[in-house]
Amino acid sequence: MSVQRVNVFGAGVMGLCIATEVAARGHRLQIYDIASGPGPEACSWWAGGMLAPYCEAESAEEPVLRHGEQALNWWDSHTDCVQRQGTLVLALPRDRGEIKRFARLTGRHQQLDRKHIAALEPALENCFDQALYFQDEAHLDPRQALRQLSNQLVRQGARFHYGMDVNAGHGLQTADITIDATGLAARSQLTGLRGVKGEMLILRCPEIRLTRTIRLLHPRIPIYLVPRDDHTYMLGATMIESDERQRISARSLLELLGALYALHPAFAEAEILEIGVDARPAFADNLPRLRWRAGRLYANGLYRHGFLLAPAVAQMAAAVVDDPSHTPEFMYEN
């Protein structure tokens, strides 16, 4: 295998995972991004960071479960911010049917009563009388994870170029293979790529301590709550068929906060630190694609499974760098 010069366009979770896998095979890397640096301009910045393949099986296609199971170990081996605390799935008394439906569609869970819920999360004592516990799931802080991948790549000799419009063609290093992981910015080249808007909040609430991802089921607007450091939580997220990335609607804000208050009244005193809005790139089946277009290998379409599926797509893309004739699972011709 000869050493290849590889340009990676996009420094979000897809681009950084691909760069990590390509670097591990000894290839030379240049990474380009139109943003001025890591931050809120990237869709990955607003991710929940849930590594929850068994919960996602409720609505996702089979590859999400199969490849998602491997993602936990991948992130554990490349970062130090994975929290293997599992996922606790709850429903309000009026929505108990949602728990039964969720249990029927998923696996690898335990059914808990009020006593065992309180043992896992003392802050929820006497709040819920039944739950599903997915012990083998995990979560991470996406911002820490992306920073750690970036720093590791720099140590391995990769060069980052921020503030560059890769489609302008100026200032790019010569490459043997170019991989485009720019999300919705690649829509003109990728037939069928669409945006799915997500709205989310980051809150701080010293009055309550939760240690694992909480999912509150609801027939219309289910929420997730992911703990971060210092009594801080990511609350999300809506899924709206739109590529609009600029604003959160009053309705979404009210519904997210109303569901959070229903989870625990202590959140009425929470401080809202950030409001995030972005659009996830997705294809019709909500599964990712690898496609050759005009001499570039496009990696796109992670939908809401960015941190769950990016490692698998990255390994497939790196295999194509090693052997451009290779056709991995997510390679599509159209």
Residue given tokens 């790019």 in the structure block: 172
Residue given tokens 């210092």 in the structure block: 230
Angle of CA points 260, 197, 142, to nearest 5°: 70
pLDDT of residue 1: 66
Give the whole-angstrom CA distance, residue 72 versus residue 84: 9
Residue-wise burial string across 280-292, b where 16 or more C-beta atoms lie within 10 A, e elsewhere = bbbbeebbbbbbe
Nearest to 156 by CA among 9, 25, 297: 25
pLDDT of residue 334: 60
Give the whole-angstrom CA distance, residue 279 versus residue 239: 9
Contacts of 148 (CB under 8 A, 6+ apart): 78, 79, 80, 81
pLDDT of residue 333: 76
Ranges of the chain with pLDDT below 70 = 1, 334
Cβ pair 32, 38 in contact under 8 A: no
Cβ pair 26, 3 in contact under 8 A: yes
Residue-wise burial string across 58-93, b where 16 or more C-beta atoms lie within 10 A, e elsewhere = bebeebbbebbbebbebbeebbebbbebbbbbbbbe
Cβ pair 113, 129 in contact under 8 A: yes
Give the whole-angstrom CA distance, residue 7 versus residue 207: 47
pLDDT of residue 221: 85
pLDDT of residue 246: 84
Q: Which amino acid is at 312?
A: A
Indicate the Cα dihedral angle 307, 311, 316, 322, nearest 10°. 130
Give the other-Cβ count within 10 Å of 107's Cβ: 10
pLDDT of residue 169: 73
Q: Which amino acid is at 18?
A: I
Instruction: Show the domains of the chain with their CATH numbers.
Output: 5-47+141-191+284-322 (3.50.50.60), 87-135+194-282 (3.30.9.10)
Contacts of 234 (CB under 8 A, 6+ apart): 48, 49, 200, 201, 202, 224, 225, 226, 228
Give the other-Cβ count within 10 Å of 293's Cβ: 13
pLDDT of residue 37: 78
Cβ pair 26, 156 in contact under 8 A: no
Across the strands, what pairs with 30?
7, 159
The model's pTM: 0.96
For residue 301 the two structure tokens come to 């379409």
